[in-house]
């Protein structure tokens, strides 16, 4: 018996399952697999293989790595043994880590090296994956560093190596790395790995990019310590250094950059997660239906006193007991009703998403002409998440900004120089951005007429020499991944500054009059000197600038000159004894502006001059020359100077410093050279008048002081001068107030500071980054006293940073204000508009940046992230307790404030609708720095407080955060607030964040491909985010949510039809519809319309969505796909299936109709109901809609007619032969179909209509408003919109959708749109509140 | 189709991307085509469902449905139908004795006759049905207990019926026709006598043919061996179903075109009913030229009572019905149409009110601009 049941069940299941599975698998999966997988794989592989520039995820990308580092493996060499033995020497403090990576550990020297190489002891090219710990690696300029390498040798005479860390932290400036101190060999001699006999001990691999420590133990037991500044990090690029060699300390997955990679996360869209719960509901529903069937069958069997003729016994003539029959029936029912579990839904969703992705990538508005890139959808499964984003986390550099700093204005001695010519030039530049060659032409024609003087000349020359290179880099044709990486560097057009004419005259005048002028003049000069030297800019030559160098670089004269200069300086200055030089070096000249001794060195390169003479022109200004030089060269000097200009390039930690140096250069104050001990500036007008200041100290920038200073000794006067540059708040407080000044002097000073302050406020309002410049002349004695303190501070072990800061603050007092500058970090196009739109769409925009707080705040203001009226809280502390108390304090304040505004809003609400709008209240912004953030993220308690605080803030700015912190913040917000997060970034430092967020967006084309590779969507400009989210996101979400609900509805509506029949067939599992037709029903007749709906339906047009971002909120609040919508759909499905079943049932009851003729009208009415149900949902009928909807109906009739004409006895027991034809010849069939469809859809239709009339949704309003504008106008609008101006007629749906008495006519007449909220006159400064 | 075009496009894009930086080949811009389809700007009709816009639809539906309903109702009412239950459960029934006798293959058939009176004449053709209640001909295992290829005259299936027929597949020899459906063939014989007022009665001629679908009789059901008149030879090697009294080739010995598998009573039975209460066409009474087919008067229904229904609480009925274009008598559809039409009309009025009172805001959507 038991065996029989098992056999029976297995046969039954196998038959049904084989049919179902064969059909599902063969058809669905073949479609799915063939289309989806092939496309996905082809896209994925093609992206992966063709675009991927170099292997960041390592060790596993064979053939593609053509570029390799030079590698020398010392497996046959004692050095490795030394290292290994060094490992065996246990050090208590620093655990040894120089083990080979565990993956390859047993057989370390696995790749056999060609024997000859070992003998020759030369470097060989090897792939990255072959690099092992302990290898000596030589990396040449512009190569990517393959592992974490301890720098042991560089070709630079100073033992420095410049690297670009854009892949790690997004900063495009150069960073300096030094050879392990004390290890430096003679720079001229090549590095000999064979001579390395020391042991390297360092810490275990960790993910801290900013810390590293260890020591080298020399054979003579002398230990040389090193830190992070001797480590070349994997993923960085060597710049401006011909070659660097070192020993690998971490390789592969142990490198710091790899440990910072959080790893990819499998992403599933929120809608699908919600949907999965509903699938569970469907399962529950299925089981309850099956249970009803099973119990019903058992009870039905119980009613018979004896066996009726229609009960069929088993093959052996026995009947199974009714309970067992009921038990079996449960499984029969599962097979019968399993369509309720929407397997096809998953396949359809994939197809829909593929269609959506297709349309997103086809959007011409998301195409960037400049880089010839479309939007890339790399993740095919989360398109609808784009429509639900609530938090946007953005990187700053390269994402919001172009990372191009431009000097815009300055104020010197209380006089503002607006640099209007420069502004015009920039404006022109912005317009003609597409083609830079034109700009170049324009520049060349314009400038000579504007500026006859030599500074203009120099600029012209600059352009003519440099633009060609960069122009070709930017032009479309040659754009490739390699060229793109070069885009990150500021193009000279943007760094060049056209001098303000008035200021130029003053400067030149000041220079002419020299010393006989008063205080004013020298301060003007001081201003520019401060501009030029008060920074940490690295000077390099243009030829060394980041070009791909193959083999040996062309050495050229200026480079040789500088090299020689450096060599000379090297001889004079030894790095250890700073103060000795000061004493030793005796300047022969007493004239403060006399040229330096090194001048003859420069003038000894006549070959350059000869080429440059042509640009010289009549030069008469260089008459005041005290430098001893041959007179015949004077005419050529300006030209030669400009040539030198051309060859100098500035690389800076912060781009604004570079911008200042460029600005100074525009006025002739050219920073020529910088070494740790001295800085050389060329003065304008006097030919090659060089001033070499000795740098006594650099008081580096920190965020507490908000300023930096340079302490220099003037070469001629030997005055010790402190130049300070910093935020206005930091500098203005420290201005001198000498006791012995006269009244007029005090008046003058006060007037000066107040007018400067006024100008600064103006700059800040314009979104410029402001910096104040001040100077102080320090007496020799005061300096010596101070330097003692300073030395103690430097030597200190504990609290070193604080001591350094304190000593710096000691010196930075009693400053004399010189002036201030305004610098613009150029935002990308339309960034403020985009952020405004995202805000209006209800998204919170956060900026997470590795940059300084000041910079970030400035950018935040200029991109409208922070408003001048906002209440900004700043959290910055090192101490945990302080952090905690501040967090709490801020939170309380914010809460109080929030309740205030809430109350006010409530009160205003009472007064009348529309009286108080949200935008007028100042909102809260939060600025937090990385260390504080780290503290706040440490403890659970603090974390929740932080999140709570952030929830109250409209915008949050996190500065100085590490890549890992970025992702932590994103994860925190995502998990604590349960919101949909989007992260957008362009650099490798954003990879973690991009992967942690629900939606990761990479900006392509700026800083390599890491961000793009990790992203789900890759766009080329930040402004594209607007259309991507507001239009495509909205569409995808509303389409998909409609589609999913519809799918659930559709399945239930059809399955319930079969279920109702069970009540009339003794719960025996009979279907009244031929099962082929049943399968076709889901597969062919009703599958295309929902997919089409999911791909092409538009609830509102793109133009409306762009102009009314409020519509986006629908997705954020998950209004499209709600549990209620699901259940309404289910109830509707039940109702419709009841109608579809019982109207034919009542019609045919008691007649002689047979099973399948009875099922046929039901199948037909179900089809019509289901199709027309969708038709009610469809918002815009295009040709595609008509074709697919009508096509589905026609396909149904065609297939059914053909099937019932052909299949005579092919499909027992249903035998559809001639049923359809018979039915279609019967007028009753049509009458039944007509009334059933009408009755089934009447409630849905009526509810839709009544709701649309009584309580129209925001979307409906948008649709109605859209109707008022003819289509072309909308198109125009979107064009305008997309370019820059805000849309002229802007609908404010916040007004429309506010609840109001029904008889008040709500929508404003379209001819008079509500006035765009005009910005209020902002108060003078932002309120920075730090509790 | 969408998918394939997508594929092609993407690959185009990537090829150019891959070739672009290195190769000298022609570089194609990746700029998407600015076509209405790709930019999703196809001209579209955007219906907005508000009271104002859909009002006419409701009235139109109401105006169409109500006349249809009236027409259907009238038609249904004009159909004459007479029904008589001859199960014989009640002791008073003449068939009571027969009904207690529920052996399938009783050798001496039980006869009973039930008199009835028709008040009104039945014009045109009269269809005579037998009706069964509580007979679940739609039970899943019953429905599939047949072999269609055997019924289609397939020689192979004749001697080796399908497994689906179990346990009515073989009875020593293979059963023809096999399966539970055939086995439970309705085997009562109904005759109709018209009693003249003078006491004599005549048998009313009942036509046995034309009761099955033409396609069933001529295509789907075939005797084995084609148009072989010697059916007993054709069915040689098979045996009759267990419950049958005579083999299949003796179903109607008088008419070779109505014998064997193509016997119309058999075909009608094999078309399994959709619902447990059903009727099946039994005979057709063709109309006379000059008088009503069934004039009013007294009739007698003579029943050869073979078919046991008591085991499942079933009922047996004989139904006489005229027929119209809409089939048998069923007032439901007419009422439904009238009701739905009225509801739509009513909703139309409600919407009109709504539109009048609240529709002002959707009004401006109608303003041509």
3-state secondary structure of A1151: coil
Question: What pLDDT score was predicted for residue A541?
Answer: 62
Question: What pLDDT score was predicted for residue A1135?
Answer: 96
Nearest to B21 among A480, A1158, A1181 (CB): A480
Question: What pLDDT score was predicted for residue A990?
Answer: 83
Residues of A in contact with B9 (CB under 8 A): 358, 361-362
Residues of B in contact with A36 (CB under 8 A): 3
| pLDDT confidence tier of residue B343, bands split at 50, 70 and 90 | very high
Q: For residue A615, what are its two tokens?
A: 């640009």
Q: Decide: residue B52, CB within 10 A, 0-12 exposed, 13-18 middle, 19+ buried.
A: buried
Interface test with B, best of A28, A374, A1152 (most B CBs within 10 A): A1152
Confidence check on the interface: ipTM exceeds 0.85, yes or no: yes
Nearest to B18 among A46, A315, A1239 (CB): A46
Q: Residue count of chain A, please give it.
A: 1331
Dist. CA A645–CA A458, nearest whole Å: 8
pTM for the predicted model, two decimal places: 0.72
Question: What pLDDT score was predicted for residue A755?
Answer: 87
Q: State the count of interchain CB pairs (< 8 A) between A and B.
A: 349
Residues of B in contact with A1303 (CB under 8 A): 357-358, 360
What are the mean pLDDT values of chain A's consecutive 10-residue runs (1331 residues total)? 52 56 53 50 45 32 31 34 30 32 35 42 81 86 87 81 74 74 64 79 81 82 80 85 86 83 71 90 94 94 87 83 92 91 87 92 88 84 89 86 78 81 67 39 37 37 34 34 35 61 73 49 80 80 43 37 44 39 38 38 34 33 34 36 55 74 84 81 72 84 78 86 84 74 77 85 75 87 87 73 82 85 81 90 87 76 81 82 85 77 45 38 79 84 86 84 85 89 84 87 72 84 91 92 92 93 93 89 90 90 88 87 91 95 93 91 94 92 94 94 89 83 92 94 90 80 73 48 41 40 38 39 36 34
- Residue entry with tokens 């206005």: A728
Question: Phi and psi dihedrals of A475, rounded to 5?
Answer: -70, 155
Specify which residues B85 forms β-bridges with: B317
Question: What pLDDT score was predicted for residue A426?
Answer: 67
Dist. CA A915–CA B22, nearest whole Å: 62
- B2/A358 Cβ within 8 A: yes
Question: A505, A560, A463: which is closest to A684 by C-alpha?
Answer: A505
Q: What letter does residue A340 receive in the DSSP assignment?
A: G
**Chain B residue closest in CA terms to A1255:** B358
Dist. CA B259–CA B248, nearest whole Å: 7
- A1245/B54 Cβ within 8 A: yes
**Contact call for residues A601 and A551 (beta carbons, < 8 A):** no
Chain A closest-CA separation from residue B349 CA (Å)? 12
Residue A395 a catalytic site member: yes
Residues of A in contact with B242 (CB under 8 A): none
**With 80 as the cut, is the pLDDT of residue B204 above it?**
yes
Question: What pLDDT score was predicted for residue A262?
Answer: 58
Dist. CA A496–CA B223, nearest whole Å: 101
Query: Cα torsion for A594, A600, A602, A607, to the nearest 10°?
Result: 140
**Chain A residue closest in CA terms to B325:** A1227
Helix (H) or strand (E) segment spanning residue A140: strand A136-140
**Chain A residue closest in CA terms to B328:** A1151
Average of pLDDT values for B47-74? Answer: 90
**Chain B residue closest in CA terms to A1252:** B50
- A314/B369 Cβ within 8 A: no
| pLDDT confidence tier of residue B27, bands split at 50, 70 and 90 | low
Dist. CA B248–CA B3, nearest whole Å: 57
- B326/A1242 Cβ within 8 A: no
Nearest to B365 among A317, A1072, A1264 (CB): A1264
Residues of B in contact with A1269 (CB under 8 A): 369
Interface test with A, best of B49, B280, B358 (most A CBs within 10 A): B49
Average of pLDDT values for B31-55? Answer: 86
Question: What pLDDT score was predicted for residue A1263?
Answer: 80
Q: For residue A689, what are its two tokens?
A: 């008048």
Chain A closest-CA separation from residue B191 CA (Å)? 20
Question: A636, A660, A618, A632: which is closest to A453 by C-alpha?
Answer: A618
Question: What pLDDT score was predicted for residue A1194?
Answer: 95
Residues of A in contact with B325 (CB under 8 A): 1227
Q: What letter does residue A35 receive in the DSSP assignment?
A: I
Query: Cα torsion for A1123, A1128, A1132, A1138, to the nearest 10°?
Result: 80
- Between strands A401-412 and A816-827, the pairing is antiparallel
Chain A closest-CA separation from residue B246 CA (Å)? 18
| Packing angle of the helix pair A1034-1062, A343-361 (nearest 10 deg) | 160
Question: Phi and psi dihedrals of A926, rounded to 5?
Answer: -130, 135
Interface test with A, best of B4, B9, B10 (most A CBs within 10 A): B10
| Terminal Cα-to-Cα distance of chain A (whole angstroms) | 82
Dist. CA A959–CA A969, nearest whole Å: 12
Task: Report the 10 Å Cβ neighbour count for A632.
Answer: 7
Dist. CA A512–CA A624, nearest whole Å: 8
Question: What pLDDT score was predicted for residue A511?
Answer: 53
Question: A1107, A1101, A1029, A1105: which is closest to A1287 by C-alpha?
Answer: A1107
Chain A closest-CA separation from residue B320 CA (Å)? 13
Residues of A in contact with B167 (CB under 8 A): 312-317
Nearest to A310 among B137, B330, B351 (CB): B137
**Chain B residue closest in CA terms to A1031:** B40
Q: For residue A592, what are its two tokens?
A: 């403060």
**Chain B residue closest in CA terms to A1066:** B139
B163-186 pLDDT tens trace: 888 888 988 899 989 999 999 999
The one catalytic residue in A365, A395, A728, A1074 is A395
Q: Decide: residue A259, CB within 10 A, 0-12 exposed, 13-18 middle, 19+ buried.
A: middle
Question: What pLDDT score was predicted for residue A106?
Answer: 34
Task: Report the 10 Å Cβ neighbour count for A784.
Answer: 12
**Contact call for residues A1018 and A376 (beta carbons, < 8 A):** yes
**With 80 as the cut, is the pLDDT of residue B152 above it?**
yes
Distances, alpha carbon A558 to alpha carbons A561, A563, A606, A647, A1180, in Å: 5, 8, 11, 7, 67
Residue A1227 CB contacts under 8 Å (≥ 6 apart), including other chains:
B325, B326
């Amino acid at each position: 018996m038991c065996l029989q049941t098992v056999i029976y069940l297995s046969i039954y299941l196998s038959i049904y399952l084989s049919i179902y599975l064969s059909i599902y698998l063969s058809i669905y999966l073949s479609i799915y697999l063939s289309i989806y997988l092939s496309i996905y794989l082809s896209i994925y592989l093609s992206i992966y293989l063709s675009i991927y520039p170099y292997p960041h995820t390592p060790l596993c990308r064979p053939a593609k790595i053509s570029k390799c580092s030079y590698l020398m493996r010392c497996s046959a060499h004692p050095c490795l043994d030394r290292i290994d033995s060094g490992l065996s020497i246990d050090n208590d403090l620093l655990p040894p880590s120089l083990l080979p990576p565990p993956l390859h550990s047993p057989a370390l020297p696995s790749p056999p090296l060609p024997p000859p190489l070992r003998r020759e002891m030369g470097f060989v090219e090897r792939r990255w994956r072959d690099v092992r710990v302990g290898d000596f690696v030589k990396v040449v300029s512009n190569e990517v560093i393959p592992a974490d390498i301890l720098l042991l040798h560089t070709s630079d005479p100073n033992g420095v190596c410049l690297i670009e860390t854009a892949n790690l932290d997004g900063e495009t400036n150069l960073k300096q790395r030094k050879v392990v101190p004390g290890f430096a060999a003679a720079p001229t001699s090549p590095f000999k790995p064979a001579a390395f006999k020391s042991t390297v001990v360092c810490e275990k691999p960790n993910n801290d990019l900013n810390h590293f420590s260890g020591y080298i133990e020399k054979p003579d037991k002398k230990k040389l310590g090193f830190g992070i500044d001797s480590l070349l990090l994997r993923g960085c690029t060597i710049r401006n250094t011909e070659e660097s060699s070192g020993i690998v300390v971490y390789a592969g997955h142990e490198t710091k950059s790899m440990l910072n990679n959080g790893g990819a996360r499998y992403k599933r869209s929120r809608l699908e997660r919600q949907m999965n719960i509903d699938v569970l509901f469907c399962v529950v529903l299925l089981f309850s239906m099956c249970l009803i069937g099973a119990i019903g069958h058992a009870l039905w069997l119980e009613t018979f006193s004896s066996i009726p003729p229609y009960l069929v016994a088993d093959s052996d003539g026995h009947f199974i007991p009714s309970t067992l029959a009921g038990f079996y029936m449960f499984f029969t029912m599962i097979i019968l009703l399993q369509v309720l579990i929407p397997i096809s839904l998953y396949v359809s969703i994939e197809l829909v998403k593929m269609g959506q992705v297709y349309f997103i990538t086809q959007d011409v508005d998301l195409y960037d002409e400049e880089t010839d890139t479309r939007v890339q959808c790399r993740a095919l499964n989360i398109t609808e998440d784009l429509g639900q984003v609530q938090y946007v986390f953005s990187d700053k550099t390269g994402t919001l900004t172009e990372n191009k700093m431009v000097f815009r204005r300055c104020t010197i001695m209380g006089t503002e120089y607006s640099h209007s010519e420069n502004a015009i030039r920039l404006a022109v530049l912005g317009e003609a951005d597409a083609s830079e060659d034109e700009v170049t032409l324009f520049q060349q024609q314009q400038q000579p007429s504007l500026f006859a003087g030599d500074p203009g000349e120099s600029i012209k020359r600059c352009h003519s020499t440099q633009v060609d290179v960069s122009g070709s880099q930017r032009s479309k044709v040659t754009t490739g991944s390699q060229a793109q990486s070069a885009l990150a560097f500021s193009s000279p057009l943007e760094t060049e500054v056209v001098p303000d004419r008035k200021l130029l005259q003053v400067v030149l005048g000041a220079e002419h009059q020299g010393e006989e002028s008063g205080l004013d003049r020298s301060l003007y000069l001081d201003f520019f000197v401060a501009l030029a030297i008060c920074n940490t800019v690295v000077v390099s030559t243009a030829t060394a600038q980041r070009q791909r160098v193959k083999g040996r670089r062309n050495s050229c004269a200026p480079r040789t000159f500088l090299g020689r200069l450096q060599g000379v300086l090297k001889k004079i200055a030894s790095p250890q004894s700073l103060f000795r030089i000061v004493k030793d070096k005796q300047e022969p000249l007493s004239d403060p502006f006399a040229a330096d001794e090194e001048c003859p060195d420069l003038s000894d390169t006549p070959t350059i001059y000869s080429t440059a003479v042509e640009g010289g022109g009549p030069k008469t200004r260089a008459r005041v020359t005290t430098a001893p030089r041959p007179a015949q060269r004077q005419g050529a000097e300006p030209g030669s100077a400009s040539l030198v200009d051309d060859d100098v390039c500035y690389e800076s930690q912060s781009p604004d410093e570079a911008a200042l140096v460029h600005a100074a250069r525009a006025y002739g104050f050219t920073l020529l050279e910088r070494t740790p001990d001295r800085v050389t500036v060329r003065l304008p007008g006097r030919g090659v008048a060089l001033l070499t200041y000795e740098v006594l100290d650099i008081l580096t920038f920190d965020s507490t002081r908000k300023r930096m200073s340079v302490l220099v000794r003037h070469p001629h006067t030997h005055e010790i001068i402190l130049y300070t540059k910093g935020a206005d708040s930091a500098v203005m407080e420290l201005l001198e107030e000498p006791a012995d000044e006269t009244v007029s002097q005090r008046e003058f000073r006060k007037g000066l500071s107040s007018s400067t302050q006024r100008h600064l406020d103006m700059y800040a309002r314009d979104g410029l980054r402001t910096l104040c410049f001040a100077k102080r002349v320090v007496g020799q004695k005061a300096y010596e006293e101070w330097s003692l303190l300073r030395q103690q501070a430097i030597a200190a072990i504990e609290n070193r940073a604080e001591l350094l800061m304190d000593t710096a603050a000691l010196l930075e007092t009693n400053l004399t204000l010189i002036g201030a500058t305004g610098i613009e970090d150029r935002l990308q196009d339309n960034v403020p508009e985009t952020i405004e739109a995202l805000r209006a769409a209800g998204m919170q925009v956060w900026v997470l940046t590795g940059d300084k707080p000041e910079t970030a705040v400035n950018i935040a203001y200029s991109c409208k992230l922070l408003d001048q009226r906002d209440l900004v809280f700043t959290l910055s502390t090192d101490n945990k307790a302080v952090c905690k108390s501040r967090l709490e304090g801020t939170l309380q304040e914010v809460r109080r404030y929030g309740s205030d505004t809430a109350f006010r809003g409530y009160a205003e609400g009472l007064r009348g609708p529309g009286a108080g709008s949200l935008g007028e209240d100042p909102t809260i912004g939060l600025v937090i720095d990385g260390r504080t953030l780290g503290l706040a993220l440490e403890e659970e308690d603090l974390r929740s407080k932080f999140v709570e605080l952030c929830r109250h803030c409209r915008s949050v700015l996190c500065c100085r955060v590490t890549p890992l912190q970025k992702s932590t913040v994103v994860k925190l917000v995502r998990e604590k607030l349960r919101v949909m997060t989007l992260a957008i970034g362009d650099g490798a430092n954003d990879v973690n964040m991009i992967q942690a967020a629900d939606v990761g967006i990479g900006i392509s084309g700026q800083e390599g491909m890491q961000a793009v590779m990790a992203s789900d969507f890759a766009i080329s400009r930040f402004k594209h985010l607007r259309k991507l989210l507001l239009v495509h996101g909205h569409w995808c979400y509303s389409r998909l949510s409609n589609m999913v609900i519809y799918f659930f509805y559709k399945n239930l509506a059809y399955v319930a039809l079969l279920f109702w029949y069970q009540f009339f067939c003794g719960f025996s599992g009979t279907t009244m519809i031929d099962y082929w037709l049943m399968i076709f029903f889901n597969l062919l007749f009703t599958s295309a319309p929902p997919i089409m709906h999911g791909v092409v339906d538009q609830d509102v047009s793109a133009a409306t969505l762009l102009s009314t971002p409020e519509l986006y909120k629908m997705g954020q609040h998950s209004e499209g796909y709600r549990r209620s919508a699901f259940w309404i759909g289910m109830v509707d499905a039940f109702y419709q299936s009841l109608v579809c079943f019982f109207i034919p049932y009542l019609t045919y009851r008691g007649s002689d109709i047979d099973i399948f003729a009875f099922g046929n009208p039901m199948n037909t009415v179900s089809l019509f109901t289901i199709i027309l149900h969708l038709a009610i949902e469809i918002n815009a009928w295009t040709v595609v809609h008509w074709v697919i909807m009508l096509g589905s109906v026609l396909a149904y009739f065609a297939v059914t007619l053909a099937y019932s004409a052909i299949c005579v006895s092919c499909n027992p027991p249903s035998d559809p032969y001639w049923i359809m034809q018979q039915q279609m010849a019967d007028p009753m069939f049509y009458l039944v179909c007509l009334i059933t469809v009408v009755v089934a859809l009447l409630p849905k239709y009526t509810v839709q209509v009544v709701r649309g009339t009584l309580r129209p949704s925001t979307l409906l309003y948008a649709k109605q408003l859209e109707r008022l504008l003819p289509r072309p106008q909308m198109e125009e609008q979107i064009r305008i919109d997309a370019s820059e101006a805000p849309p002229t007629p802007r609908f404010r749906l916040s007004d429309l959708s506010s609840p109001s008495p029904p008889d008040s006519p709500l929508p404003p007449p379209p001819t008079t749109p509500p006035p765009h909220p005009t910005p209020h006159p902002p108060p003078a400064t932002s309120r920075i509140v730090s509790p | 189709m969408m998918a394939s075009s997508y594929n092609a496009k993407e690959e185009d894009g990537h090829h150019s991307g891959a070739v672009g930086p290195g190769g000298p080949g022609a570089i194609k811009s990746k700029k998407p085509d600015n076509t209405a389809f790709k930019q999703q700007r196809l001209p579209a009709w955007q219906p907005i469902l508000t009271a104002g816009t859909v009002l006419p639809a409701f009235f139109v539906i109401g105006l169409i449905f109500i006349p249809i309903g009236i027409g259907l109702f009238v038609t249904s009412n004009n159909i004459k139908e007479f029904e008589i239950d001859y199960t014989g459960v009640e002791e008073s029934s003449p068939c009571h004795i027969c009904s207690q006798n529920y052996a399938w293959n009783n050798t001496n058939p039980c006869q009973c006759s039930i008199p009835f009176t028709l008040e009104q004449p039945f014009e045109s053709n009269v269809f005579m049905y037998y009706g069964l209640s509580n007979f679940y001909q739609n039970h899943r295992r019953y429905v599939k207990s047949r072999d269609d290829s055997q019924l289609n005259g397939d020689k192979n299936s004749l001697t080796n019926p399908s497994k689906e027929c179990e346990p009515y597949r073989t009875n020593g020899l293979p059963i023809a026709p096999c399966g539970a459906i055939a086995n439970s063939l309705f085997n009562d014989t109904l005759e109709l006598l018209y009693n003249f007022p003078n006491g004599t009665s005549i048998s009313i001629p009942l036509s046995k043919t034309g009761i099955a679908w033409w396609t069933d009789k001529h295509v789907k059901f075939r005797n084995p061996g084609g148009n072989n008149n010697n059916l007993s030879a054709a069915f040689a090697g098979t045996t009759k179903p267990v419950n049958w009294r005579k083999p299949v080739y003796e179903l109607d010995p008088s008419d070779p075109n109505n014998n064997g598998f193509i016997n119309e009573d058999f075909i009608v039975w094999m078309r399994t009913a959709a619902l447990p209460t059903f009727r099946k066409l039994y005979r057709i009474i063709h109309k006379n030229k000059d008088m009503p087919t069934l004039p009013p008067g007294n009739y007698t229904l003579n029943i050869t009572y073979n078919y046991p229904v008591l085991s499942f609480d079933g009922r047996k009925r004989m139904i006489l019905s005229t027929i119209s274009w809409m089939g048998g008598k069923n007032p439901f559809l007419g009422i439904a149409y009238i009701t739905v039409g009225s509801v739509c009309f009513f909703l139309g009025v409600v919407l009109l009110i709504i539109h009048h009172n609240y529709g002002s805001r959707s009004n401006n959507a109608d303003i041509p601009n």
